[in-house]
Amino acid sequence: MTIIPAIDIMNGKCVRLTHGDFQTEKIYHADPAAVAKQFEDAGLSRLHVVDLDGAKAGSVQNIKCLQAITSQTSLKVDFGGGIKRMEDVAAVLDAGAVMVSLGSLAIAQPELLEEWLLEFDAHHFFIGADVLNDEIKINGWQSATGVNIFDFIPKMQALGVVHFFCTDISKDGLLQGPATGLYRRLLEAFPGLDLTASGGVHSMNDLTELRQAGCAAAIVGKAIYENKITLQELSAF
């Protein structure tokens, strides 16, 4: 199982939110690229970057931070937040990201995603679903969709999507453990699914559970910044 550390960027700084609430912003580091370098030095190979300003504004805002990270490290970066146009996808990939992460757009505008999949290789897309009681929420978890995660995944697979990540909204940012039960059900329903766990990881035991459940990767954010999990432990894992 691959460990994917997370960097959330707001105003050019590395921050974390609780339950996606912008009022809960906590700044951890002024230089996201320096944080990324620490991850690389610990032997990690992937990085999940979220442009929170972009998500809020509806357009990519922190492309320079992405360029700094990809120019100063060899990490394989996925980047999301505010990506609404094909030009945004091209700009993010040109800035050095290996994948574009998308959430709300895949639900709200699947026909647009299909265009992008035809223009760019499907492996360049990392499709995320924020879930509460199996229902996908969008627009920063504010909007209900009525779409069940178990119906969404096969529709995305039919379009050619390969890489998925799933966040249980009830778990995110609380350091109370991931939604291992949900991930087990998804992997039983879709054998061989390339599924990345996201949200709630607070201990090495959580990561062991996710690996045993069959997750391809796990995104770890707040647990690192709050020193619940050390980079040395992740390196050994």
What's the pLDDT score for residue 134? 94
Mean of the per-residue pLDDT values of the chain: 93
**Under 8 Å between Cβ of 166 and 183:** yes
Sign of CA dihedral 84, 197, 204, 208: negative
> What count of residues does the chain have?
237
pLDDT-derived band at 18 (thresholds 50, 70, 90) equals: low
pLDDT at 216 over 90: yes
pLDDT at residue number 174: 60
- Residue 153, domain CATH: 3.20.20.70
Evaluated on CA atoms 106, 109, 112, 114, the torsion sign reads positive
d(CA 109, CA 69): 29
Per-residue CA distances from 162 to 70, 156, 195, 207, 222 (Å): 23, 8, 9, 22, 27
Which position has the higher pLDDT, 215 or 18?
215
Query: How many structural domains does the chain have?
Result: 1
Q: Are strands 125-132 and 194-198 parallel, antiparallel or unpaired?
A: unpaired
Q: Which domain holds residue 30?
A: 2-236
Q: Rounded to an integer, what distance in angstroms lies between the CA atom of residue 210 and that of residue 163?
A: 17
| Across 158-165, average pLDDT | 96
Once rounded to an integer, what is the mean pLDDT over residues 171-187? 85
d(CA 173, CA 201): 9
pTM for the complete prediction? 0.93
Instruction: Among 48-57, 69-78, 138-147, name the one with the lowest average pLDDT.
Output: 138-147
**pLDDT 10s digits, 104-120:** 999 999 999 999 999 99
58-84 average pLDDT score: 96
Distance of CA 200 to the CA centre of its chain: 13
Which residues are annotated as catalytic? 8, 130
